[in-house]
Amino acid sequence: MSTENEGTAVPPAPSAPPVPVESPAASPQPPGPQGGAPTPPPPSTPPQMPGAAPEPAAAHTGPPAGHASAGSPEGAGAPGAHGPGAPTHGSWPPPPPTTPAYGDGGGSGAGWGSSYQPPAPNPGGRRGGMVAAVLVAALVAGGIGGGIGYTLARNGDNGGSTTVSASDSGAAQVKRDPNSIAGVATRALPSTVTIEAEGTSGQGGTGTGFVFDTQGHIVTNNHVVADAVDGGKLTATFPNGKKYDAEIVGHAQGYDVAVIKLKNAPNDLKPLALGNSDQVAVGDETIAIGAPFGLSNTVTTGIISAKNRPVASSDGSQDSKASYMSALQTDASINPGNSGGPLLDARGAVIGINSAIQSSSSGGLGGSGQSGSIGLGFAIPINQAAYVAKQLIKTGKPVYARIGASVSLDDSTNGAKITDQGVGGASAVEAGGPAAKAGLKPGDVITRLDDHVIDSGPTLIGQIWTHKPGDKVTITYQRDGKEHMVDVTLGARVGDSS
Active site residues: 223, 256, 339
Determine contact, residues 77/407, Cβ cutoff 8 Å.
Answer: no
Query: Which helix (H) or strand (E) segment is 378 a member of?
Result: strand 377-381
317: helix, strand or coil: coil
CA dist 218 and 199 (Å) reads 19
In whole angstroms, what is the distance from residue 17 CA to residue 393 CA? 31
Q: What is the DSSP string of 412-464?
A: -SS-EEBPSS-GGG--SB-TTSHHHHTT--TT-EEEEETTEE--SHHHHHHHH
3-state DSSP assignment of residue 285: strand
φ/ψ (deg, to 5) at 281: -120, 150
Q: State how far the Cα of 255 lies from the Cα of 398, in Å rounded to an integer.
A: 8
Q: CA 377, CA 198: separation in Å to the nearest integer?
A: 25
Single out the residue of 279, 289, 277, 234 nearest to residue 385, CA to CA: 277
Find the radius of gyration of the CA atoms of the chain.
23
Angle (nearest 5°) at CA 273 between 271 and 278:
140
Q: What is the dihedral of CA 287, 290, 291, 292, to 10 degrees?
A: -50
How are the residues of the chain apportioned to helix, strand and coil, as percentages rounded to the nearest 5?
20, 30, 50
- What's the rounded Cα separation, in Å, for the pair 315 and 217? 25
Q: Which residues contact 65 (CB under 8 A, 6 or more apart)?
A: 11, 79, 80, 82, 83, 84, 85, 86, 87, 88, 409, 410, 411
